[in-house]
Amino acid sequence: MKITHLTSATLVAVLALSACSKSETPPPTETAVEGSTATPTDTASANPMVGGAEMFPTKTIVDNAIASPIHKTLVAAVTQAGLVDTLKGPGPFTVFAPTDDAFAKVPKATLDGLMRPAQKTVLADVLKYHVVAGKLTAADLAKQITDGGGKAMLKTVNGQELTATMAGNVITLAGADGSKATVTQADVNQSNGVIHVVDGVLTPKM
């Protein structure tokens, strides 16, 4: 099937199926901070390491993402979708940032299709589904989940909601279409918000 013939809804559906097929993989038990015995959703240090690169709380979400060796696909997608200026703005924003490995779970034809100029709007919608207005730390998310009786509904800048749940101190996010992602490293502070590294690509309903 040629990717140019895929509709926007089909692209998102394939993304969702791919994410669901990987959902049974157990989450990692440690953060990427070298020598740390913290669990995935523990608060990181002021200058945590992401993928072996130091993150700086004085830099923007985009600048730190560019420096991260494990977020090259995300940076390329943000650039293609025309969201660089937005995510370099004052915010603040909470970004659930899929790693390169997370994007690798998406079929190559689907990802390539999303990166085409004709699919710019669809790509932007998918990326905005990973962004929440305001700064929400892991502790903030945990409180919302507890206050919500075991789940929190997070309204994204896409306009749709993510469902956050918690098992132990591991936070999991579920998309409106059934896609899932686990927070593998929390509280990477930015000058205009915070990044939580996730292991899956979340997709909204189209």
**Residue corresponding to tokens 């932007």:** 124
Instruction: Give the residue, 201 or 11, on which the prediction is more confident.
Output: 201
Residue 45 has pLDDT above 80, yes or no: no
Q: Percentage of residues in the chain with pLDDT exceeding 70?
A: 78
User: Which residues have C-beta within 8 Å of that of residue 167, sequence separation ≥ 6?
Assistant: none
Instruction: Give the residue, 39 or 132, on which the prediction is more confident.
Output: 132
Question: Does a cis peptide bond (omega within 30 degrees of 0) precede residue 92?
Answer: yes
CB-CB contact of 96 with 173 (8 Å): yes
Residue 11 has pLDDT above 70, yes or no: no
The top-level CATH class assigned to 3-198 is mainly beta
Span 56-96, pLDDT tens digits: 999 999 999 999 999 999 999 999 999 999 999 999 999 99
pTM score of the predicted model? 0.79
Dig out the tokens for 90 from the structure. Answer: 């004052």
Q: Where are the domains of the chain?
A: 3-198
CA distance 104 to 108: 8
Question: CA dist 176 to 84, 126, 158, 170, Å?
Answer: 25, 12, 12, 20
Mean pLDDT of 142-171: 96
- 46 pLDDT tier (thresholds 50, 70, 90): low
Instruction: Give the residue, 1 or 105, on which the prediction is more confident.
Output: 105
CB-CB contact of 94 with 134 (8 Å): yes
Mean pLDDT of 110-129: 94
User: Residue 97 is inside which H or E element, if any?
Assistant: strand 93-98
Q: DSSP for 58-90, please give it.
A: TS-HHHHHHH-TT-HHHHHHHHHTT-HHHHTSS
Dig out the tokens for 204 from the structure. Answer: 């909204």
Q: DSSP for 143-171, please give it.
A: HHHHHTTS-EEEE-TTSSEEEEEEETTEE
